Amino acid sequence: MTAPTLRPADLDEAALARLRQLEDRIGGPLVAYRPESPYATLSAEELEEVRRTEAELGVQLLAYRR
């Protein structure tokens, strides 16, 4: 199974200011990352179909983004 990867976050000025305040309080640097999942976002119907297929085949399936 592939875990979500982390990419540096693109923060606006307000978020950067908040991050700097927290750095000052804790006395050290912070790095902001955003999680990036390799998995597909499925509709309710697609998810149900995947679950049915899992049950039929006795396996676990992972749907990846294209």
How many residues can be counted in the chain? 66
Count the domains in the chain.
Answer: 1
Q: Does residue 62 fall inside a structural domain?
A: no
Q: Does residue 65 fall inside a structural domain?
A: no
Domain that holds residue 17: 5-57
DSSP lists the bridge partners of residue 39 as 64
29-44 confidence digits (pLDDT tens): 999 998 777 889 999 9
Enter the pTM of the model. 0.52
Distance CA 58, CA 56 (A): 6
What is the predicted pLDDT for the residue at 7?
84
pLDDT, mean of residues 43-66: 95
Distance CA 51, CA 37 (A): 20
pLDDT at 1 over 80: no
Share of the chain above pLDDT 90, in %: 76
Distance CA 20, CA 27 (A): 10
Q: Does residue 66 fall inside a structural domain?
A: no
pLDDT at 62 over 90: yes
Q: Does residue 50 fall inside a structural domain?
A: yes
Strand (E) or helix (H) holding 54: helix 44-57
